[in-house]
Chain A
Amino acid sequence: MIIWTPMQLELVLAGGEKETRPEREVVVNEVPAVIRETGFGEGEIVRLLSTDAFDYLRPELAPGTRVVLHGDET
């Protein structure tokens, strides 16, 4: 793998060993999104994966919004 970037490689690869809360891809209100788990059965939206720009205008899908995970998203 070759990383081609004007950024310093040390910066790109820094923090690789740091533990962070897992991010997961789920569907929130019909829109695919990446969420970060904040606790058992709940998370917050990190970003949307939709190609429809209008999804990004929906306030209930704004980054940081808390979502409750049902069993069928896992």
Chain B
Amino acid sequence: MSSGDYRLPDALFGYQLPDAMHEPESQPQGPAPGDQRQRMRSLRELGTFALPAVRSPLQTLTIVGQIEGHMVLPSQNKTTKYEHIIPQLVALEQHPQVHGVLIILNTVGGDVEAGLAIAEMIASLSKPTVSLVLGGGHSIGVPIAVAAQYSFIAETASMTIHPIRLNGLVIGVPQTFEYLEKMQDRVVKFVVKHSRIGEARFRDLMFRTGELARDIGTVLIGKEAVECGLIDEVGGIGAATAKLKQMAEAYKQKREAPVQ
């Protein structure tokens, strides 16, 4: 039996722990040579990635363009796919050397289900998370931005809050409206739960008329998002990294503290 046969069971879990994960943090690390084939096998057969060997305890997730969900969008769209983000979040949650996650957002929204799934996963990570909205965090980008434990927005970045509209086949029955209302409630409840904004205020921003040319709703720019309680602070990459480092340090100390 070749050594390749022994490796097979690892692939069942969809990823393989690099050997370096069990070593002290100070040592340089990297998976043993020859793992490549095994990693590709897990990628090919299960659609997940090998758990990467980390060099920094602070890892970064970038969520850009359209958030792509159940349907593959035409290729001229820049998309962030949930099948990429979700396994990465699972890996970050499990990796013992990861002490914090920085989420960089520059998104125009996208699939509601996929966006909420990512937001729920970020919110339920047990590790410190900081989000930074650069450029834009529109529509479904809003719940993702507030999902982190602490959120930043760049001074010139904007967030569009507007109602969910139906696309695709619309049947003119009351159930259609009720379904849409339910989808919207899921988003509103998530945002209210994970930020300082109240439900009435958020709905007010969402249904405001006279601000957007083609829609109802509001565009919040930089400090406006902080003033209404949606985002915690105006800042850039320096402020976000400093905050995450501080949170990661506290997390590390708490984790290493002996159980009393």
Given the known A-B contacts A2-B112, A53-B56, are A9 and B138 also in contact in the complex, defined by CB atoms under 8 Å?
no
Residues of B within 8 A of A31 (CB): 52
Residues of A within 8 A of B52 (CB): 30-32, 50-52
A53 touches B74 (CB 8 A): no
B111 touches A3 (CB 8 A): yes
Report the bound CA distance from A26 to B37 in whole Å. 11
Scoring A residues 25 to 39 as 1 if CB is less than 8 Å from chain B, else 0, what string do you get? 111001110000000
A-contacting residues, B54-95, CB 8 Å: 54-56, 58-61, 66, 69-71, 73-77, 84, 88, 91-92
Question: Interface with A: B162-170, B227-235, B250-258, which one?
Answer: B162-170
Given the known A-B contacts A30-B30, A51-B60, are A4 and B115 also in contact in the complex, defined by CB atoms under 8 Å?
yes
Report the bound CA distance from A20 to B167 in whole Å. 25
Residues of A within 8 A of B162 (CB): 6
Among residues of B, the one whose C-beta sits closest to the C-beta of A8 is B214
Q: A5 is contacted by which of B54, B75, B88, B110 (Cβ under 8 Å)?
A: B110
Among residues of A, the one whose C-beta sits closest to the C-beta of B48 is A32
Scoring B residues 32 to 49 as 1 if CB is less than 8 Å from chain A, else 0, what string do you get? 000011011001100001
B112 touches A6 (CB 8 A): no
Given the known A-B contacts A30-B31, A51-B52, A51-B59, are A7 and B74 also in contact in the complex, defined by CB atoms under 8 Å?
no
B54 touches A52 (CB 8 A): yes
Among residues of A, the one whose C-beta sits closest to the C-beta of B73 is A12
16 contacts between A and B (CB under 8 A): A1-B168, A2-B167, A2-B168, A3-B66, A3-B112, A4-B111, A4-B112, A5-B140, A6-B162, A7-B66, A15-B76, A16-B74, A27-B49, A31-B52, A54-B55, A72-B40
